[in-house]
Chains A and B, each alone.
Chain A
Amino acid sequence: MLHVERLTKTFHVDHLGRDIPAFAPIDFQLAPGQFALISGANGAGKSSLLRCLYRTYKPSGGSAHYAAHAGTIDLATAADVDIALLRREELSFVTQFLRSRPRVSALEWVAEPLLNAGHAWDAAVESAGTMLDALGLKRALWSAYPSTFSGGEQQKVNLARALVYPRRLLLLDEPTASLDAAARASLAERLAAIKDAGVAMIGVFHYPQEVMHLVDHEVRLEGMTNDVAA
């Protein structure tokens, strides 16, 4: 369902007048229900690769053909509206950072993807609660605003939002960085379940041991040398 060929990314920073390479051309493929682990040293471009696939970053070269329900497109060059459509229906991204809107409760933030997909309020909120429970977020916090939460609590909210309505391709950027052991175990369990359901995953994990049993292939990014910059 995903075929990445020679995908690469370079930043051009205008006020520095120079190019900064993010990662060297990369190739890999992924079928439904498969899990690809992205590995490499700090600064090898692991997060940048995920962001290129989600199109938060605009790739500089190569392609990433993705077989969507409605047809195959190249994520690297597809129209913005097509990417927006995929993000609503097929593609989701979990980062280590929470970007909630002010004055939106944790429960509502987690329920929002379901509401956006047209689910009824009560059902959406109930699913959101189940997910927060599974990841171990204290009920007392459900109606509070996540911007005041600790790092681990924010990450639980983030993960719950991504997993409450799993899409076909899930991008995970160090989702366990500040989670406790119980939450990490619960996450691994949930990932195994959605993998069985056919969800494909590409992940960067600081401590990959917990998910190693889910990994189908490892995509290794080699460090870039700085002299690539023009």
Chain B
Amino acid sequence: MTATSNRPSSSPDKGVPVSQPARTHGYASLQPPVLTTRSPLLVASGLVKRYGRVTAVEGVEVDAYEGEVLGIVGESGSGKSTVLRLLNLQESPDAGTYTLDLPGLAGQDLFALDRFARRDVQTRSIGVVYQNPYLGLRMRFTSSGNVAERLLITGERSYAALRAAARESLAASEFPLDRMDDPPRLLSGGMQQRVQLAKALALKPRLLLLDEPTTGLDVSVQALVLDTLKRLQRERSMTIVLVSHDLGVIRALADRVLVMRNGRVVERGLTDQILEDPQHAYTQQLVHARL
């Protein structure tokens, strides 16, 4: 797999040069969690990913707790989508470890698993929705078939069970069920995203990865998809990692945010703090560039 969507991190900056902050104006380091006694569901540490001479991701740390929405923001080429592909076990990193605190997997570095075991974790425990539905869906299959395929992979063979599961998952994604047998290529962009979401949710994953899930949708459709995501997150207490360059989407959904630039995390914090009191010079630019 190649990084077609990633521009070299060494490319010259297009915008205003950003200096490192001369000083922080809020406390630079925080205490370890005291009240939060559970350990995070997801911990990825020291992630490095290179494509040839280009370093897309350089020493990134990610942690996310059960029921939490973690946003990753940054401009194109910042490495945020690469991080998501690593978390989806789609690609192997050049360095780093990744654990999910799930039954039978606690403490296991998922990058160290063989191809088949990785595929199994990816299928059963991780759901993903891409910005481009062509990456996530078979456009000529029926929508219900796209969703049912997830259960087929895990060995379900009963037609009635597959059908029922597809229906349930599509309904949870607020997809109009009278169109469940239409192929995605005949559906609108908003509905295609709902099919992707239903497919991602079919096996009730603990971790849902969203890569610009509403980019390219009409504003009104975007609002409806956001509302669906918010409801699902509340009802299923999934952990969601959401990559977006749209700060409005991040504000509506994310509890905490990582800000990425040139493959590194330059700032992390509570969503409202990142948006209202950005500490890093780059985050200040990003936030103030908002319309």
Chain B interface (Cβ within 8 Å of chain A)? 18-19, 21-27, 29-37, 65, 68, 219-220, 223-224, 226-227, 230, 234, 251-252, 255-256, 268-270, 272-273, 276-277, 279, 281, 284-285, 288
Contact of B270 among A13, A15, A71, A83 (CB under 8 A): A83
Given A78-B34, A79-B32, are A84 and B256 also a contact pair (CB < 8 Å)?
yes
Looking across the interface, which residue of chain A has its beta carbon closest to that of B253? A101
Looking across the interface, which residue of chain B has its beta carbon closest to that of A48? B277
- The total of chain A residues at the interface (CB under 8 A) is 38
Task: Decide if B234 touches A14 in the complex (CB within 8 Å).
Answer: no
Task: Decide if B223 touches A101 in the complex (CB within 8 Å).
Answer: yes
In this complex, the member of B65, B234, B251, B270 whose beta carbon has the largest number of chain A beta carbons within 10 angstroms is B270
Q: For chain A, residues 1 to 36, give those with C-beta under 8 angstroms from any C-beta of chain B.
A: 9-15, 19
Those 10 A-B pairs whose CB atoms lie nearest each other, nearest first: A58-B26, A12-B25, A102-B223, A14-B281, A79-B33, A103-B223, A57-B277, A82-B35, A56-B272, A81-B36
Residues of B within 8 A of A15 (CB): 281, 284-285, 288
Residues of A within 8 A of B281 (CB): 14-15
21 A-B pairs with CB atoms under 8 Å apart are A14-B281, A14-B285, A15-B285, A55-B273, A57-B277, A58-B27, A58-B273, A68-B35, A70-B35, A77-B30, A79-B33, A79-B34, A80-B269, A81-B36, A82-B34, A99-B251, A101-B226, A101-B230, A102-B219, A103-B224, A116-B234
Q: Is A59's CB within 8 Å of the partner chain B?
A: yes
Residues of A within 8 A of B34 (CB): 70-71, 73, 78-79, 82
Residue interface mask A54-88, B partner, CB < 8 A = 1: 01111110000000101101101111111111100
Q: Is A194's CB within 8 Å of the partner chain B?
A: no
Kindly state the separation between the CA atoms of A208 and B113 in the bound complex, as whole angstroms.
Answer: 63
Contact of A102 among B36, B226, B256 (CB under 8 A): B226
Given A101-B226, A103-B224, are A59 and B35 also a contact pair (CB < 8 Å)?
no
Cβ distance B68 to chain A, nearest Cβ, rounded Å: 7
Task: Decide if A59 touches B234 in the complex (CB within 8 Å).
Answer: no
Contact of B273 among A10, A57, A101, A116 (CB under 8 A): A57
Contact of B27 among A56, A73, A77, A81 (CB under 8 A): A77
Residues of A within 8 A of B22 (CB): 12
Given A14-B21, A56-B276, A58-B269, are A85 and B36 also a contact pair (CB < 8 Å)?
yes
Given A14-B19, A77-B30, are A115 and B273 also a contact pair (CB < 8 Å)?
no
Task: Decide if A101 touches B19 in the complex (CB within 8 Å).
Answer: no
Task: Decide if B33 touches A14 in the complex (CB within 8 Å).
Answer: no
Task: Decide if B269 touches A51 in the complex (CB within 8 Å).
Answer: no
Residues of B within 8 A of A76 (CB): 27
Residues of B within 8 A of A104 (CB): 227
Residues of A within 8 A of B24 (CB): 12
Looking across the interface, which residue of chain B has its beta carbon closest to that of A118? B234
Kindly state the separation between the CA atoms of A116 and B234 in the bound complex, as whole angstroms.
Answer: 6
Task: Decide if A77 touches B23 in the complex (CB within 8 Å).
Answer: no
Residues of B within 8 A of A74 (CB): 31
Task: Decide if A60 touches B33 in the complex (CB within 8 Å).
Answer: no
Looking across the interface, which residue of chain A has its beta carbon closest to that of B224? A103
Looking across the interface, which residue of chain A has its beta carbon closest to that of B272? A56
Cβ distance B28 to chain A, nearest Cβ, rounded Å: 9
Kindly state the separation between the CA atoms of A101 and B251 in the bound complex, as whole angstroms.
Answer: 9
In this complex, the member of B34, B65, B68, B273 whose beta carbon has the largest number of chain A beta carbons within 10 angstroms is B34
Given A56-B270, A77-B29; 13 other pairs, CB 8 A cutoff: A9-B25, A11-B25, A12-B23, A15-B288, A19-B25, A56-B272, A60-B25, A78-B34, A79-B36, A80-B269, A83-B270, A85-B35, A103-B220
